[in-house]
Amino acid sequence: MENVYIEYIYLILIILGLVMLAQRLKVSYPIVLVLGGLVLSFTDGFSSITINPGMIFFIFLPPLLYEAAWQTSWKEFWRWRRVITSFAFPIVIVTSFVVALISQAFIPGFTLALGFLLGGIISPPDAISATSIMRSVKAPKSLVSIVEGESLMNDASSLIVFRFALIAITTGQFVFQEAVANFFVVIIMGIAVGLAVAFGFYNIHRRLPTTPSIDIVLSFVTPYCMYYFAERFHFSGVLAVVSGGLFLSIRREKMLSHLSRVQSTNVWSTVGFVLNGLIFLLIGLQLPGIVKQLGGLSLSTAIGYGLLISGVLIVTRLLCTFGAVLFTRFMSHFITVADRNPGWKAPILFGWAGMRGVVSLAAALSIPVYIDNDQTVLFPQRNLILFITFIVILVTLVFQGLTLPWLIRKLKMEDRFSPISPEKQEMIIQKKIAHQSLLFLEERYKEEVMTNEHVGNLKARLSSSLSYFTSSFENEPAYDDSNPMKRYQHISLEMLDKQRELLHQMNHRSEFDEEIIRKHLSLLDLEETKLREKLPQDAHVK
């Protein structure tokens, strides 16, 4: 048992090193982690580490889905709800159907049911790698929002297809009407369970005397409760976590204190980073075990099947995105749509952002070894399905992941739904806040501004901020080191470093309490965060 813990500690250290390498190479870290895991799989130290599907589905999936739902903008999700829903449900089914037909036609021994099983496994794209790439090259916000929203929903629909195909293979029966009815029951009841559990935790946060530490612990318990209760009654645990997470996310201001919000954000971002890193590294570590299970099938033949299905997935997704554009144009004559004319660049980028990931591999690994309870009949084509799934993940993640940044830069797609740049939005918001705050002080506390030194200083700071943001509108947003405002920011950053040095020196003296010193260091960190947010990304200094 001790050796297992040590191995995972080593893995975490390796993850940190590979992520830093990815940042140096300016490559999305999931790609580097999968390739790093692939290299580690040929070493003796880590070749014994395997993925337990139950561990992925119950330990890893709920918190990762919950964090994604918590970070998702409900406004953007609702704006693109039709596009997200179409790719989360109908297009997942279309993709599964195409994969089923192709695999039945070209892979010996594959039935239509096995093809649907494979389609359900590999149909959901992994959005972690796609969104990390898009954010690094500043892809249009609308495109990132759609990819994030799709990732929240398509895992559920693909796993439902997988579940029904598995039942059809193991029982030898499939009733279409019953499957369609169960499909909607699983979706609707999964959402209902998620909302019910979320409402319960909302009232706990809102009405009981919790502390930030209690709030954070409750936030980790919440997704597991949602997932467990939904799966316990054979509903969609994924949709339960997603719906419940969105419900709580838009009510965070009402149910959490400011300290709970700040601390939980930091804790969740760190935990999410570690979980994602472990998952992508573990994907690469699975290759030797999967290859050994191929049996009599030659490696070159299995690779050929994997490349064939990978090509089918890429082409099918691209055709679906262009089909969605045509359908949107047609429906715009009858209903109000978010974008009447998406153009040709958006479907290309969205179609190319279809990298597969951990959910696909976990689903493939969860296929039972035997088809009957007596363990006498092996599950048909299980080993080949596992290998094809791994090849699909590797091809789409590496090939599409490495070429997506180039494609985004080449197409130079503009975000027509954000006419104001993020820099100007920041200035407008902070200018309006400063202006409204000044009005509040002058109207309600005019006398105290004159008599109370601290309130007077507050007004002076607000006036200075308002003057700063007003003058900033007259300057170009591009970085200019000679600009007085930029010089002010850099000088302020240097001053903060000097203040830190002073606090550290004071901390060596016995008369000062270290807890108070740390509090002031935290305040300096917050001040530095505010200053760096006003600097362009390429002007940041470490």
pLDDT tens digits for range 315-351: 999 998 888 878 777 777 677 666 667 778 888 888 8
**pLDDT surpassing 70 at residue 506:** yes
180 shares a domain with 255: yes
327 within a domain of the structure (yes/no): yes
Tokens of 72: 């998702």
Beta bridge partners of 385: none
Interatomic CA distance for residues 453 and 447, integer angstroms: 11
Q: What angle do CA 339, 340, 343 make, to 5 degrees?
A: 85
300 within a domain of the structure (yes/no): yes
Which residue's entry shows tokens 């609707």? 188
Supply the pLDDT for residue 337: 67
Which residue's entry shows tokens 């200053």? 531
The upper half-sphere exposure of residue 531, i.e. CA atoms within 13 Å in the direction of its Cβ, equals 22
- The residue among 100, 3, 7 whose CA lies nearest residue 46 is 7
**pLDDT surpassing 90 at residue 215:** yes
* Residue-range definition of the domain harbouring residue 500: 490-542
483 within a domain of the structure (yes/no): no
Tens digit of pLDDT for each residue in 271-329? 988 988 888 888 888 777 788 777 778 888 999 999 999 999 999 999 988 888 787 77
Interatomic CA distance for residues 345 and 142, integer angstroms: 13
Interatomic CA distance for residues 254 and 260, integer angstroms: 12
482 within a domain of the structure (yes/no): no
Confidence bin at 225 (pLDDT 50/70/90): very high
104 shares a domain with 237: yes
469 shares a domain with 387: no
Please state the rounded mean pLDDT for residues 512-524: 79
Supply the pLDDT for residue 4: 66
Tens digit of pLDDT for each residue in 142-158? 788 888 888 777 877 88
429 shares a domain with 317: no
Tens digit of pLDDT for each residue in 430-474? 788 788 888 888 888 888 888 888 888 888 888 887 777 676 655
161 shares a domain with 289: yes
Which residue's entry shows tokens 């009733």? 175
Supply the pLDDT for residue 227: 93
308 within a domain of the structure (yes/no): yes
Supply the pLDDT for residue 173: 67
Interatomic CA distance for residues 81 and 75, integer angstroms: 10
Tens digit of pLDDT for each residue in 50-86? 777 667 778 888 998 898 888 887 878 888 888 888 7
Point out the domain boundary residue: 385, 411, 437. 411
407 shares a domain with 435: no
Please state the rounded mean pLDDT for residues 179-192: 85
**pLDDT surpassing 60 at residue 258:** yes
Supply the pLDDT for residue 315: 94
- The letter for the amino acid at 317 is R
392 shares a domain with 514: no
155 shares a domain with 69: yes
Compute the mean pLDDT over every residue in the chain, rounded to the nearest whole number: 82
What pTM did the predictor assign?
0.79
Confidence bin at 541 (pLDDT 50/70/90): very low
Number of domains observed in the structure of the chain = 3
Ranges 50-54, 112-116, 439-443, 529-533, most confident? 112-116
Looking at residue 23, which CATH number applies to its domain? 1.20.1530.20
- Phi/psi-derived region of residue 51, left when phi > 0, alpha when psi is between -120 and 50, beta in every other case: beta
Interatomic CA distance for residues 198 and 495, integer angstroms: 45
Q: Dihedral sign for Cα 531, 495, 527, 276, please.
A: positive
**pLDDT surpassing 90 at residue 542:** no
Write the CB contacts of 237 (distance below 8 Å, at least 6 apart in sequence): 57, 61, 62, 190, 226, 227, 228, 230, 231
**pLDDT surpassing 60 at residue 214:** yes
Helical H segments across 286-373, by residue range: 287-292, 299-331, 345-352, 358-365
426 within a domain of the structure (yes/no): yes
Tens digit of pLDDT for each residue in 82-93? 888 877 788 888
Q: What angle do CA 92, 95, 98 make, to 5 degrees?
A: 150
145 shares a domain with 271: yes
30 shares a domain with 87: yes
432 shares a domain with 396: no
150 shares a domain with 198: yes
